[in-house]
Amino acid sequence: MADNTGTLPTYDALLDTSGLYCPEPIMLMHNKVRDMSSGQVLKVVATDPATTRDVPKFCQFLGHELIEQDTSSADAYLYFIRLA
């Protein structure tokens, strides 16, 4: 996993959690991954600073791969997750 330095990965589904605060982004991620298949990539857009901690823990706990994250902007955080 590396911070974004150029081209963002392609993704199969988008989850925009902008304006939501903990625990809502993670709860919505749980629901979204249930509708997806192993190997697919989920792009998550978030504005809650707590996601910088919560999304990596979510991936680690459930065995998903956080393939890219861009937390360089204070306006929105981007996460690309490959499902286990």
Q: What is the mean pLDDT of residues 69-79?
A: 91
Give catalytic residues, as residue numbers: 22
Identify whether 1 is part of a domain.
no
pLDDT at 6 (0 to 100) = 63
CATH of the domain at 69: 3.30.110.40
**Mean pLDDT value of segment 57-80:** 94
Phi/psi of residue 77, nearest 5 degrees: -110, 140
Tokens of 21: 């605060």
Asked if the structure places residue 71 within a domain, the reply is: yes
The verdict on residue 7 lying in a domain is no
Name the percent of the chain lying above pLDDT 90. Answer: 85
For residue 45, being part of any structural domain is answered with yes
CA 26 to chain centre: 9
pLDDT at 8: 84
**36 within some domain:** yes
Apex 8 CA angle, 6 and 12, nearest 5: 170
Specify the amino acid at residue 74: A
Number of domains comprising the chain: 1
Residue 8 placed within a domain: no
* Model confidence pLDDT, tens digit, residues 21-53: 999 999 999 999 999 999 999 999 999 999 999
What are phi and psi for residue 21, nearest 5 degrees? -120, 160
Within a domain: 5 = no
Q: Is residue 49 part of a domain?
A: yes
What residues make up the domain containing 33?
13-83
